[in-house]
Amino acid sequence: MTARESTIEQLNIAVAAAQDKGAEDLVALDVSEPLPFVDIFFIATGRNERNVMAVAGEIEDQLNAAGHKTLRREGRSEGRWVLIDFGDLVVHVFHEEERLYYSLERLWKDCPVIPIAEPARASAE
């Protein structure tokens, strides 16, 4: 089983929102095989607590604006690890230290990585 196209569309919205707020080290994992109720884990890193909260907030705002309902949100008040559950897409925005400690990529290493496009850069003319 692979992630559905509708979930890939959600991921693209989340990626653009994370990039707009300066998130780093973006990774998307197709977890649809081991987790029948989730298609994708999207993982991003914020530079500090304030950035973590800004990235998580922008992702949630953009996905909600596109009609995707937030089912659950955890960790926003601390700004160290924010989890936002949209059903088929689960977003994890980490502070760098927590990302290294919990190492979700290592825990889910058998799951395929979904390629994420680099943000478009303005050309210098």
Cα–Cα distance, 31 to 113 (Å, whole number): 9
Cα–Cα distance, 112 to 29 (Å, whole number): 6
What backbone phi and psi angles, to 5 degrees, belong to 92?
-120, 115
Q: Which amino acid is at 30?
A: D
Cα–Cα distance, 40 to 71 (Å, whole number): 15
User: What is the predicted pLDDT for the residue at 11?
Assistant: 97
Do 70 and 59 contact (CB within 8 A), yes or no?
A: no
User: What is the predicted pLDDT for the residue at 120?
Assistant: 59
2 vs 35 pLDDT, higher one: 35
Q: Which domains does the chain have, with CATH numbers?
A: 5-114 (3.30.460.10)
pTM attached to this predicted model: 0.91
